[in-house]
Amino acid sequence: MTAIIERKIEGRTRDLGGFEVRRVLPAPRQRMVGPFIFFDQMGPAAFEPGTGIDVRPHPHIGLATVTYLFDGALRHQDNLGVDAVIRPGDVNWMTAGRGVVHSERTPPPERARGHRIHGIQTWVALPADQEDVAPAFHHHGAASLPEFERGGVRFRLILGTAWGFEAPVEVFSPIFYLHANMPTGTEAKLDIEHDERAVYLVSGEVELDGEILRAGEMAVITAGSAPVLSANESSIVMLCGGASLGERQIFWNFVASDAARLDQAKRDWTEAAAADFPADGRFTLPATETEHTPLPK
């Protein structure tokens, strides 16, 4: 009998100074699931008044970033001129393509009064023939995303297609990304029409055809299977996957199909910083920012 779960991945906790993230992808034995190449859970974390998240401007290439929150708010600013605040249930999709620079910070009102943050940040690799597309940013409010119920489980479709529904976010390859709220005792059959699929448990306890999944774990589902996901207690679950894009290389915030692209991006970021980010360069700073994150050694 074929196992339902091909692999379990336990998220690795990292301290980013003031709050923790749980990194799931890339993992040593599982670099990607479909086009998903990076998967981080932020928090849950609480910030006292006057404190917050400050991710200084940094570059990306060859991917799209996806931010989705359960709690809190996050301000995105980039060198395309976008200044947007994301709140729970919204989707921020940033296509890095040939190169973009952005920062992520706690908005001033939340910083002043103190706040909580909890969410998922992922990177989606771009197809090889789209790695150098023009950078772009799109914000999609929670009300624009399809919501539906199956077996008492409430789903919101964040990206792509699932069970006949389609999200409004423009994507570059077959993909799905779902947020599920599961009351105790509910269940849903995961007969989602995609090649590669994974289940990540944010909170609670669930089973996949009787095999327990605990908070902070991702289960990669065997291709062709249709396991039943059931909730032993009230749970928040994320489901993701899609078509494989083949192998990708990753360094810092850069993703590429070959090492030469990574090396060029390293040089371009280092040279831009040394020249105080000239306006005609590949990488420039967001208009209101003066800081940047140096290239790691």
Give, for all 297 residues of the chain, the pLDDT tens digit.
467 999 999 999 887 666 789 999 999 999 999 999 999 999 999 999 999 999 999 999 999 999 999 999 999 999 999 999 999 999 999 999 999 999 999 999 999 999 999 999 999 999 999 999 999 999 999 999 999 999 999 999 999 999 999 999 999 999 999 999 999 999 999 999 999 999 999 999 999 999 999 999 999 999 999 999 999 999 999 999 999 999 999 999 999 999 999 999 999 999 999 999 999 999 999 999 999 999 998
255, two tokens = 């993703």
Helices (H), 22-177: 108-113
Helix, strand or coil for residue 204? coil
The pLDDT value recorded for residue 15 is 77
* 76: Cβ contacts below 8 Å, ≥ 6 apart: 67, 82, 83, 84, 85, 86, 92, 94, 102, 103, 104, 137
| pTM of the predicted model as reported, rounded to 2 decimal places | 0.96
Instruction: Name residue 220's beta-bridge partners.
Output: 7, 198
CA 192/CA 229 separation, integer angstroms:
12
Would you say 232 and 213 are in contact if contact means Cβ atoms under 8 Å apart?
Answer: no
Give the start-to-end residue ranges of the domains of the chain.
5-242
**92 CB-near residues (< 8 Å, 6+ apart):** 65, 66, 67, 68, 76, 84, 86, 137, 138, 139
Decide: helix, strand or coil at residue 43. Answer: strand
CA angle 62, 176, 38 (to 5 degrees): 40
Angle at 248 between CA 244 and CA 251, to 5 degrees: 145
pLDDT at 172: 97
What confidence score (pLDDT) does residue 291 get? 95
CATH code at 5-242 = 2.60.120.10
Residue 278 in contact with residue 49, Cβ under 8 Å? Answer: no
* Cβ pair 218, 198 in contact under 8 A: yes
Dihedrals φ, ψ of 107, to 5°? -60, 150
For 62, residues 6+ apart whose C-beta sits below 8 A from its C-beta are: 96, 97, 125, 126, 131, 248, 254, 255, 256, 257, 261
The residue with tokens 């105790």 is 184
The two structure tokens encoding residue 166:
């389609």
Question: Residues 135, 96: contact at Cβ < 8 Å?
Answer: yes
